Chains A and B, each alone.
Chain A
Amino acid sequence: MTDAAVPTARPHRASLLADDARMKRRKAAETRFRLYGLSAIAVSLATLAIMLWTIFSDGVSAFYQAKLTFPVTLSSDLLDPMGNGNRDEMVKVTTVGYNKLLTRAFEAELAAKGIDTGELSNKDVNALISKDAAGDLRAMVLANPAVLDTTITAKMLAAGRIDGYLKGRVTMQTAERDGQISPEQLQFADRLIDAGILSSQWNWDFFTNPDASDQRPEAAGLGVAILGSLYLMILVAVMCVPVGVAASIYLEEFAPKNRWTDLIEVNISNLAAVPSIVYGILGLAIFINFMGFPQSSTLVGALVISLMVLPTIIIATRASIRAVPPSIRDAALGVGASKMQMVVHHVLPLAAPGILTGTILGLATALGETAPLLLIGMVAFVDNYPSAPVEGFLDPATALPVQVYGWAQRADPAFIERSSGAIIVLLAFLVVMNVAAIILRRKFERRW
């Protein structure tokens, strides 16, 4: 026995159960470290909560709309002066004529229900009907002249300020200072609510109507923007997936490792970081000015966005192809498969979930992009729906984020609510796409 076996005294350590000073410092540092992470998450969650709260508190009201319900007799002596139901003759009656019919029906209904209009002039009373209503009615009659001389129960949009009153944006105090509405008109609106003529209803029009001018915010909807975004997504998927997958397969499975492939690799990573406005400039120069594609069309928008998301998709696809273990490839080649059979029968199916997720996430970023669309004329007032594909891809359209941007700049405060409402719709689209990506990954993912 040597004295090496003699346990040396440990003066700092009194007990295993009580921490000494150094241990306390370490543990405190550990706790602080965890707190940093926790507070970082708290900050981001708080920001997200504030953002969502602002958007939802401003935007939820866009999904409800004040409407006036009253019977309208579509008398043919006003709408079809020639009396022959000929559409060419009927188009000569403009919205001014239809407006006359509407206001007459509205005044008749007021008289029939005995609603007191107070001191208001007829003009002030009729100002409660949206300027869009006459156009709506005209489109309906021209589409189906058989409705002439019948009485329909018209559900007409109420003017924007009245809608604001029902939503609490317009009050008696603001109306006093407002040139467009008076407190008397609001009191009159109260009587209309009591009589059941004016009510707030679920607003399908917000999803289907096209954009509207500054004078009729109540009629503005997302129809053209949703269609435009949908067309963009379809086109981008059709163009990006084949090109992206083919490029990734070649780079991963066939390309020799040399200076050229290195250069291509560096370029792809660089392109993924190029600001999106640059692609817009490129699109304007190549697709519109050189190739002569029509301005504002979804085709040009999709080409530009495809260029933008292609690098992202290639990077994601290559990563998932690389994640397929080499043993699978070796086994396939070992039993005599050709290289193409190995890729198509074994690697691609195994990499598919990763490719899908990458593509969907790429499309989701593309869905929220406005900058490249700015230069190719898609940030515009578009009032007509694009026609059905394939021709519809050449028609002008807008996209959801473009509509958000456009409405945020309008003068009428009613557009603020619309803008936030459009953000909610856009967020819903993004959530659906991201959830789809997660589900697909969970369902098809393979672990080795």
Chain B
Amino acid sequence: MRLVNLTVSAIAIAAAATAADARDQVQVTGSSTVLPYATIVAEAFGENFDFPTPVIEGGGSGAGRKKLCEGVGETTVDIANSSSRIAQSDIDLCAANGVNEIMEVRIGYDGIVFASDVNGAEFALTPADVYGALAAKVAKDGAVADNAATKWSEVNPALPDQEILVFIPGTKHGTREVFDTKVIIEGCKATGAHDLFLATAEGADDKEKKANADKACNELRTDGRSVDIDGDYTETLARLDADKTAVGVFGLSFYQNNTDKLRVATMNGVVPSVETIAAGDYPVSRPLYFYVKKAHIGVIPGLKEYIEFFVSDEMAGPDGPLAEYGLVSDPELAATQAAVAAETPMGPLE
């Protein structure tokens, strides 16, 4: 009986302590693509500042933004990392829960690369090749036909005479969006399939027709040659290890950490690297963001310092540790730094 009393009072004390103590470390959640960058910054932040190291969770961009929008207060997170831009639905959810001012911080760009086993054949891909290999329907002799290609060489004679098998990020990944828009739709347009889809697309106006044509482009084949990977890049790597002839989609930083196991494919003849992405030569890249709840600045100790440190030249600059790890630094970093210093909240989405 005394034990029961003790437990109850211990919980009561704990509850009282929570109410009295302000949370003293920054809480971050969101994209698993941004996670390694955020941990690098957090670690250096904890080393060099007198604030505790921020706690950083992964779990996905969408889930992170939803958590950010749960409300204002110490039990909610301060920052959501995101590998895609915030959506209007998130902003509406935020507003409904009293989160009115959000700061958008773009930290840089991330490249997406195609890679195969290091001892396998070399791939020199174009978006049209990828589309031709993976789409459910392709343009053939001026008409839409089911994709019958089984080997890369059937798609493009210059490619290896090898069975088509590609591991792509699953639909819940932020990476998939970039893969769809920057590779598949581009390839769809390049092969002429997009025009064919557009000609038969249903819709009230041109905009709706175009959206439907895009959707038709994004239909990938379901005969097992295009495999969705819902796990992380480590899973893709393990699958490539088991299937030496397959091609996988990775983040640039992941590839750079595993260059001894992976052979990267060129895209439009360009080798992906921090430099070629920064110059805009390598086409498949996307911006990375984090979103800050402005109401927490000044309440949670170290929050402002952390975001300023994140975008500082010594972290996010072209010679900083983030760039070394694979982040393509933002040419407009100075503007971001100014916006962070002034705590400018983001305006409505265009």
- A residues engaging B (CB < 8 A)? 91, 94-96, 131, 135, 138-139, 170, 174-175, 177-180, 211-216, 238-239, 241-243, 246, 288-289, 291-296, 299, 374, 377, 379-384, 390-391, 393-394, 396, 408-413
Contacts and interface: CB of A to CB of B under 8 A. Distances in A.
B7 A242 contact: yes
12 contacts: A95-B44, A175-B260, A178-B260, A238-B3, A291-B15, A374-B59, A381-B42, A384-B46, A384-B53, A394-B17, A396-B55, A411-B36
Interface stretch (B160-168, B209-217, B250-258): B250-258
A412 B18 contact: no
A135 B46 CA distance: 9
A170 B4 CA distance: 55
B23 A294 contact: yes
Contacts of A246: 4
Contacts of A382: 53, 55
B329 to A, nearest CB: 16
Contacts of A412: 257
Interface string B48-80: 101011011111000000000010011101000
Nearest to A378: B57
What 4 pairs across the A-B complex have the smallest Cβ distances?
Answer: A383-B53, A174-B260, A135-B47, A213-B39
A92 to B, nearest CB: 10
A94 to B, nearest CB: 5
B35 interface: yes
A377 B67 CA distance: 11
Interface in B153-190: none
Interface residues of B, number: 58
Interface string B5-30: 01100110111011101010101010
Given A178-B259, A293-B15, A411-B233, A380 B56 contact: yes
Given A95-B48, A294-B74, A393-B14, A409 B29 contact: no
B232 interface: yes
Contact of B75 (A289, A381, A409): A289
B198 interface: no
Interface string B232-267: 111000000000000000000110111111000000
B43 interface: yes
B57 A293 contact: no
Contact of A179 (B40, B52, B256): B256
Contacts of A94: 47-48
Contacts of B118: 177
Given A291-B15, A390-B10, A411-B258, A242 B3 contact: yes
Contacts of A383: 42-43, 46, 53
A381 B56 contact: yes
Contacts of B38: 381
The interface centre, meaning the residue of B40, B48, B53, B259 with most chain A CB atoms within 10 A of its CB, is B48
Given A179-B259, A213-B40, A295-B77, A241 B55 contact: no
Interface centre among B27, B39, B59, B254 (most CB of A within 10 A): B39
A395 B54 CA distance: 12
Contacts of A177: 118, 259-260
Contact of B25 (A95, A135, A384): A384
Contact of B43 (A212, A242, A243): A212
A380 B77 CA distance: 13
Given A384-B52, A410-B36, A390 B14 contact: yes
Given A214-B325, A296-B55, A379-B58, A413 B258 contact: yes
A394 B4 contact: no
Given A238-B10, A242-B4, A296-B27, A213 B260 contact: no
A390 B13 contact: yes
A264 to B, nearest CB: 19
Contacts of A409: 32, 58, 232, 234
B101 interface: no
Given A95-B47, A383-B42, A413 B257 contact: yes
Interface in B69-104: 70, 73-75, 77
B321 interface: yes
Contacts of B122: none
A364 B27 CA distance: 29
Nearest to B45: A383
Contacts of A295: 27, 55, 75, 77
Given A295-B75, A377-B55, A384-B53, A391 B260 contact: no
A293 B18 contact: yes
A212 B53 CA distance: 11
Interface centre among B17, B260, B314, by most chain A C-beta atoms within 10 angstroms, is B260
Contacts of A289: 70, 75
Nearest to A93: B48
B195 interface: no
Interface in B319-344: 321, 324-325
A295 B321 CA distance: 29
Interface string B257-281: 1111100000000000000000000
Nearest to B56: A381
A391 B23 CA distance: 12
A138 B75 CA distance: 32
A394 B256 contact: no
Contact of A91 (B4, B23, B50, B321): B50
A303 B119 CA distance: 51
Nearest to B13: A390
Given A213-B36, A394-B17, A411-B234, A241 B3 contact: yes
A295 to B, nearest CB: 6
Contacts of B29: 377
Contact of A292 (B56, B75, B233): B75
Contacts of A411: 36, 233-234, 253-254, 257-258
Nearest to A175: B260
A175 B14 CA distance: 52
